[in-house]
Amino acid sequence: MADLSIDFCGIRSPNPFWLASAPPTNTGDQVMRAFDAGWGGAVWKTLGNPIVNVTSRFGGIDYGNTRLMGLNNVELITDRPLEVNFREMREVKKRFPKHTLVASLMVETKEEWREIIQRSEDAGADLLELNFGCPHGMCERGMGSAVGAEPKVLEEIARWAVAFARVPVIVKLTPNVGDILEPGEAAVRAGVPALSLINTVKSIMGVDLDRMVPLPRVGDASTNGGYCGPAVKPIALHLLSQLARHPQCGKLAISGIGGISNWRDAAEFIALGATSVQVCTAVMHHGFRIVEDMLEGLSDFLDEKGMSSVAELRGRAVPAYREWGELDLSYKLVADINPDTCIGCQLCYVACMDGSHQCIHLPGRTEEQSRQAGHTHLPQHVPERAVTAAAGTPGARVPFVDEEECVGCNLCQLVCPVPGCITMEEVSTGRPPESWNDRIAQGKSYVPGGLEATEAARRRNR
Amino acid sequence: MREGDAKRWALPPNRAEEGFEDKKPLYTPAEALAEANRCLYCSGAPCIQACPTGIDVPTFIRKIGTGNLKGAARTILSANLLGQSCAQVCPVEVLCAGSCVYTGWGREPIAIGRLQRYAVENTLASHPAIFQAKPPTGKRIALVGSGPASIAAAGLLALEGHTCLIYERKALPGGLNTLGIAPYKLKGQEALRELEWVLSLGRIEVRTGIEVVETATGPGQVSTTELLASHDAVFLGLGLGADARLGIPGEQGEGVQGATHLIERLKTEPGLTLEGVRRALVIGGGNTALDIAHELALLGVEVAMVYRRSEQEMGGYVHELDAARLDGVRLLENRQPVEILREDGRVVAMRLAFLAEGKPLPGAGETLPTDLVAVAIGQERATQVARAFAGVVLDERGRVKVDPLTHRTGNPKVWSGGDCVNGGKEVVNAVAEAKLAVRDIQRYLAGE
Ligand SMILES: Cc1cc2nc3c(=O)[nH]c(=O)nc-3n(C[C@H](O)[C@H](O)[C@H](O)COP(=O)(O)OP(=O)(O)OC[C@H]3O[C@@H](n4cnc5c(N)ncnc54)[C@H](O)[C@@H]3O)c2cc1C
Ligand SMILES: Cc1cc2nc3c(=O)[nH]c(=O)nc-3n(C[C@H](O)[C@H](O)[C@H](O)COP(=O)(O)O)c2cc1C
Ligand code: SF4
Ligand code: SF4
Ligand code: SF4
């Protein structure tokens, strides 16, 4: 059995699964129930000066039959008195000494930072997380993402925190910036040992079309909130990978956050450089109990891959990240439809026809019919096979791929509802690997339309 | 449409039909949304090809999914004006849903009928005015019979601006939609409500209690020649006729009823009870036999169906047999009625002969006690009158002969469709045939 415990910049945690600073970590009772359920750590709901929250404060996005693909909120930091929070933190740490307790903090002045750091450490916090990410409410007051988006200010406050703190400091980054490396580098300069990301993405959840008010609605008005949940995972992974590849930022411990709902999501974050992961929306949706599957799934996964610890997984996928210009232009895939499992829904056909390169054809058509349907190029080879799908109902036709024309974009594979029915097959182009950067290095520069067009352009310009 | 007409055909209260539960009740919004979102939105979808009226199923389902309910109803009704009753009565298991790609995939097909009902019923209740008839053309078209074929044809013709006059010999319009469909699918009042919506589309008048005959002899009759003379075109939606009879001893008298007649009574007769009927035998293996057997079983009667061949050879749908069995119907295969036994005039039992491969086994048989015999071995033709229109011919099975592409008969002013042409299919086929006829009537009236 793989060892799930981690070392996060010197702090040990029984496993990498932490609760993110959010409603699930509002109270000591919740955090203790979470630890009982198996969570390895918790980032307490952000502490700071008193605020008042509005109602409603959450908005949800459903997609098809999936509820809460995305969540957004206009909630602020804790609305409970600081003394109460600290008292409960103290109790949590006493009852769960081996678990990781992180205090999330957000205040304005240097003095306030000094004081709240002191009190958090007294309450037993193993780590401090500076909330430079909240994209609503606090930033108007010059906090939250207002700090996260201003590297100079971020650096200054982080420097104070490192100076005041005895425990390691994490800077929690906002995705609402043009270049995540700027705040990342600022944090490095400030001397913090760790980063966490992402906080929520600025968003408006929708519009109430009857009242003509954006969502979530607070009376007759609304404001932008922060977007999270499964929908933001790709954004979070991208930003994480950028930091993980950076020579300095990549050396820090990183806590990955954003849309993590299960062990597989967590494994992906860790493979892209995270040491711990934090979860908010999935717990708000399904409760603390989801951690059981996370622990089991990650552990079995590590065993299967022959890895004995989480540390072995960390960063494994980072080297495979390249700039576009480094990708191999000679690599080629072609779609292949399995007529035995195709159900004849023709979704691949219509997707390729309207949304890609018109390389999928319907059987039984004459050349005339194909042209009328909009095909400008006709296949050289029409495969010999039944028109009606074996796994389909009468009238369901199995489309076929014009392999010479297929650009290998894999849109058809993405839309096909039958798992494994469309596969992308590697085909040899007979060309040696060559990237865009290689071409530029060789002076074959960039005119759309390929080398002939480039040559022609050169001749014209001469 | 005139207000008065709309409420003319309320059914009386206290009918047996009212006690039946809906087998496929109207979806709640959450149910409809969940089901709509399961649809793959196939391209060139087989479900469209399987619908006789060619409803663009994926499009209307997608519209339900996006909350565009009115648009969904518009998509349905522009292909099939009787989208409401079809949604409830179509054998979707062998039509649209039967060809859904999920079926081939071995998964539960999309509940197309129920989604269709959801879209149409809710839209017609809240936004009935989704079509606008063209300005009046002054043309008058007679429609004989007021079943689904004629109603669909009249609606489409009215939208084109023509005046439609429907002649119906019965007191209630709607044909089998009102009087024959199993009450757990569609109740008479629901059929009438849909019919009233069709009437609201334009200038349609229904003349009930008027029979079209070769030679009129009284006030409730109108002759074929008169009809032809006073209209620009005629559509025959005659349906089928009375129940066929067994022709065995003991059949005459109380306790033996034709199936469609009995169904009609369940649907329309106030106070009809089956008191004293504990057991019933239904003769036949088609869908009408299955319907009446199922209905009797739901009314608490112990029912057995008597069929002369084997289950595999039955004409009725497998899904209907399965459903009837779940509610207690038994099937007796390879048996033929020989005699109905009576005591003091009352039916008490029936003698049956055993058959093997359709032939009687000499000396083998049984006598089963029963209180009621329902005969569902087919219907006679109501098509004799068609012949009175010069040029219209019937085939050897009594069906009105038409050109399959135009549904025009041998008389250039007469078209026909529905059961009287196809020998008895489904409501959706009657609508599909009416569409073909209307398209050709349009060409004819336009002088093409
Ligand atoms: C018991 C039973 C159950 C059925 N269940 C289903 C089902 O579940 N689903 C389904 O899709 N289909 C079902 N059907 C079939 C469906 O009802 C018919 O296919 C459909 O009603 C045919 O429509 P139509 O307009 O051709 O004929 P009909 O509905 O039979 O209408 C014909 C009308 O013409 C009138 N008429 C006839 N001659 C004259 C005349 N000379 N003058 C004036 N009026 C005249 C009749 O009185 C009748 O009202 C069922 C049929 C039966 C018998
Ligand atoms: C209702 C709500 C309140 C939140 N409050 C805080 C907060 O007080 N401090 C903080 O740093 N992040 C806060 N977050 C952001 C989360 O900690 C987390 O960064 C974000 O939700 C992304 O993770 P997820 O996709 O797992 O939800 C909040 C998120 C939500 C949904
Ligand atoms: S999307 Fe898949 S199942 Fe549908 S037609 Fe294409 S290959 Fe077949
Ligand atoms: S009309 Fe009937 S067959 Fe056609 S789609 Fe609707 S339910 Fe299916
Ligand atoms: S075949 Fe089934 S899944 Fe495909 S469009 Fe029709 S109802 Fe939807």
Q: Strands B140-144 and B163-168, how do they pair?
A: parallel
Closest CA relative to residue B84, chosen from B117, B52, B55, B113: B117
List the single range of A120-124, A256-260, A449-453 with lowest mean pLDDT: A449-453
DSSP for A392-432 reads S-TT-B--EE-TTT-----HHHHH-SSTTSEEEEEE--SPP
CA angle A432, A438, A443 (to 5 degrees): 120
pLDDT on residue B446:
93
pLDDT on residue A439:
82
Report the run of H or E that residue A235 belongs to, with start and end.
helix A233-245
- State how far the Cα of A114 lies from the Cα of A131, in Å rounded to an integer: 15
Among B41, B43, B46, whose Cβ lies nearest the Cβ of A393?
Answer: B46
- State how far the Cα of A95 lies from the Cα of A89, in Å rounded to an integer: 10
Cα of B44 vs centre of ligand 5, distance in Å, is: 10
Exposed e or buried b for every residue in A169-181, given b needs 16+ CB within 10 A? bbbbbbbbbeebb
Task: Please give the positions of A annotated as active site.
Answer: 134
Cα of B47 vs centre of ligand 5, distance in Å, is: 6
List the single range of A152-156, A172-176, B360-364 with lowest mean pLDDT: B360-364
- State how far the Cα of A123 lies from the Cα of A100, in Å rounded to an integer: 13
Residue A282 backbone phi and psi in degrees, to 5 = -60, -35
pTM of the model: 0.91
- Report ipTM (2 d.p.): 0.85
| Chain B residues inside the 8 Å CB shell of A346 | 42-45
Residue A81: how many other CB atoms lie within 10 Å: 10
pLDDT on residue A393:
78
CB–CB contacts below 8 A, A to B = 59
Residue A55 predicted with pLDDT over 50: yes
**Across B101-147, where does the E strand assignment appear?**
140-144
Binning pLDDT at 50, 70 and 90, where does residue A458 land? Answer: low
pLDDT on residue A141:
73
pLDDT on residue A176:
94
Q: Are the C-beta atoms of A122 and A94 separated by less than 8 Å?
A: no
Residue A433 predicted with pLDDT over 50: yes
**% of chain A surpassing 90 pLDDT:** 83
A44 Cβ neighbours under 8 A, 6+ residues apart: A21, A25, A31, A78, A85, A89, A101, A102, A103, A104, A125
- Pocket lining for ligand 5, CB < 6 angstroms: A 345; B 39-42, 45-47, 57-58, 61, 100-102, 110, 112
What sign for the dihedral angle of Cα B224, B226, B230, B232? positive
pLDDT on residue A152:
93
- State how far the Cα of B172 lies from the Cα of B209, in Å rounded to an integer: 8
DSSP for B394-438 reads B-TTSPBP--TTT-B-SSTTEEE-SHHHHSS--HHHHHHHHHHHH
Determine whether the shortest distance from the Cβ of B427 to ligand 1 is under 6 A.
Answer: yes
Name residue, tokens 């293996």.
Answer: B285
DSSP SS3 for A270:
helix
Instruction: Say whether A394 and B43 touch across the interface (CB within 8 A).
Output: no
Give the torsion through C-alpha atoms of B123, B107, B432, B402, to 10 deg.
-170
Question: Identity (one letter) of the amino acid at B388?
Answer: A
pLDDT on residue B3:
43
DSSP SS3 for B200:
coil
Ligand nearest to the CA of residue A147, numbered in listed order: 2
Closest CA relative to residue B46, chosen from B91, B102, B85: B102
Residue A350 predicted with pLDDT over 60: yes
Binning pLDDT at 50, 70 and 90, where does residue A446 land? Answer: low
Query: Could you report the per-residue pLDDT of A357-407, keeping only the tens digit for each?
Result: 999 999 889 999 999 999 999 998 888 776 666 777 777 789 999 999 999
Residue A30 predicted with pLDDT over 60: yes
Residue A312 predicted with pLDDT over 60: yes
Q: Are the C-beta atoms of A199 and A133 separated by less than 8 Å?
A: yes
Crossing angle between the packed helical segments B259-268 and B287-298, to the nearest 10 degrees: 40
What sign for the dihedral angle of Cα A201, A207, A212, A216? negative
B396 Cβ neighbours under 8 A, 6+ residues apart: none
pLDDT on residue A387:
67
The rounded mean pLDDT for chain A is: 93
Residue A366: how many other CB atoms lie within 10 Å: 8
Q: Which residues pair with A70 in a beta bridge?
A: A61
Q: Are the C-beta atoms of A359 and A407 separated by less than 8 Å?
A: yes
Exposed e or buried b for every residue in B416-434, given b needs 16+ CB within 10 A? bbbbbbbebebbbbbbbbb
- State how far the Cα of B102 lies from the Cα of A375, in Å rounded to an integer: 29
Residue nearest to ligand 3 atom 1, measured at CA: A416
A309 DSSP 8-state letter: B
Cα of B177 vs centre of ligand 1, distance in Å, is: 6
Residue A254: how many other CB atoms lie within 10 Å: 30
The token pair at A74 is: 């206009």
DSSP SS3 for A196:
strand
B110 DSSP 8-state letter: P
Query: Could you report the per-residue pLDDT of A267-288, keeping only the tens digit for each?
Result: 999 999 999 999 999 999 999 9
- State how far the Cα of B444 lies from the Cα of B431, in Å rounded to an integer: 20
CA angle B100, B105, B111 (to 5 degrees): 35
DSSP for B64-80 reads HHTT-HHHHHHHHHHH-
Residue B30: how many other CB atoms lie within 10 Å: 8
Instruction: Say whether A346 and B43 touch across the interface (CB within 8 A).
Output: yes
Under-70 pLDDT residues of chain B: 1-7
Residue nearest to ligand 3 atom 4, measured at CA: A345
pLDDT on residue B7:
59
Instruction: Determine the distance in angstroms separating the CA of A66 from the nearest CA of chain B, rounded to an integer.
Output: 9
- State how far the Cα of A416 lies from the Cα of B48, in Å rounded to an integer: 20
Question: Identity (one letter) of the amino acid at B253?
Answer: G
pLDDT on residue A394:
74
Instruction: Say whether A346 and B41 touch across the interface (CB within 8 A).
Output: no
pLDDT on residue A247:
97
Cα of B99 vs centre of ligand 5, distance in Å, is: 8
Determine whether the shortest distance from the Cβ of B90 to ligand 1 is under 6 A.
Answer: yes
Instruction: Say whether B43 and A345 touch across the interface (CB within 8 A).
Output: yes
